[in-house]
Amino acid sequence: MIKLSVKMLALAAIMVLVGVGIGSSASSLWTSPQTVVQDAKVPQKLVIAIQPTEATTEIAPRAKQLEDFLESRLEVDVEIYIPTTYAAGVEALRFGNADAAFMSAWPTYIANKVAGAEIVLAEVREVVIDQEKRNEPFYFSYWIVPKDSSLNSLSELKGKRACFPSQISTSGYVVPLARMVELGLISKQSSGEVDPKTFFGEVIFGGGYGQCWTSLKAGQVDVTIIAGDVSESLYREVIANTKVLEKQGPIPSHGVVFSKNLKEPLRSKLTNALLELGTPEHRDLMRRFISGIFVNFKTTTTTEHIAGLQKALDLTGFKFTERLG
């Protein structure tokens, strides 16, 4: 059964209002994880939170297909829960309202740190690394300027205009700024985080890679970023018309996290069912629902999957924040 939990919507709304009203990060609400005690018996319902990538009305019909597939393999009722924010998905794991979740890299990191969730599977995607198309659970991102630009290095961008896709983008914000820290171009401020405005003359957040590429083509900014996990057509269009100044990665792809309360035998049965989604006869289900470049899942560990992200977060000092607008 697909639903947006009233309890979780209320929690998400409170978290967003806190972020807007007093500038606190969502992570400040996660400093004292609570232990949820669950019956050791196999549950009669399995709840899976799936990070939203588009409007809920568009996702819901496809989510039903995934529910039906998993129920046929697990022999329990499966509910797909679509939280309204990244933070709400983490909180669902933390407070026992979700048993597993599909998340991008940064939320998986937070889920592990504050909810004790374990990263069990990594999503293998069709990505482009430099000019080569590959199936990998990681990818790279690139600082780019127009092909005819006189700029040839990140150090020459001091005072220039930059477009980032999002403040919560791993590949489009966290890792690129970590690279700038490594090069000695920016450093942490009194807040404990790096601030790109200390280096660039103007910083805008475009809302996505495509939007930033449009701004770069229009001459509204001097530099932006492209990642190898966008659609191949967009990636190749951008790379063909720009000059790469810097490359950073590898960046972990999306992952599947399991609640610490998800026990055997359901734990192994869910793992096997998700691995089956990568077979040719079932792959399209995930491509329609999660990502058009989905290939399959591969088993991983928390340490293996987020090691690179951990380094980037250490360098930048970023705390996961969600604000309205």
Beta strands in the chain (DSSP E): 45-50, 77-81, 100-103, 118-129, 132-136, 138-146, 161-164, 202-205, 224-227, 242-252, 255-258, 294-299
Q: What is the set of domains in the chain, with CATH numbers?
A: 6-126+253-307 (3.40.190.10), 138-252 (3.40.190.10)
Taking residues 106-116, what's their average pLDDT? 93
What's the predicted TM-score (pTM) here? 0.81
Residue the block writes with tokens 């290095």: 153
Band (pLDDT 50/70/90 cuts) for residue 87 is confident
pLDDT of residue 12 exceeding 80, the answer is no
Question: Would you state the structure tokens that stand for residue 16, as one six-digit string?
Answer: 């967003």
Band (pLDDT 50/70/90 cuts) for residue 313 is very high
pLDDT of residue 11 exceeding 50, the answer is no
H or E element that contains 313:
helix 302-316
Alpha-carbon gap, residue 312 to 322, rounded angstroms: 19
Instruction: Give strand pairing partners of 258.
Output: 100, 118
Taking residues 133-161, what's their average pLDDT? 97
- The secondary structure of 47-77, three-state, reads EEEECCCCCHHHHHHHHHHHHHHHHHHHCCE
pLDDT of residue 160 exceeding 60, the answer is yes
pLDDT tens by residue, 185-243: 999 988 899 999 999 999 999 999 999 999 999 999 999 999 999 999 999 999 999 99
pLDDT of residue 8 exceeding 70, the answer is no
Band (pLDDT 50/70/90 cuts) for residue 62 is confident
pLDDT tens by residue, 277-298: 999 999 998 988 888 899 999 9
- In the three-class reduction of DSSP (H, G, I as helix; E, B as strand; rest coil), residue 199 is classed as coil
Band (pLDDT 50/70/90 cuts) for residue 43 is low
- In the three-class reduction of DSSP (H, G, I as helix; E, B as strand; rest coil), residue 324 is classed as coil
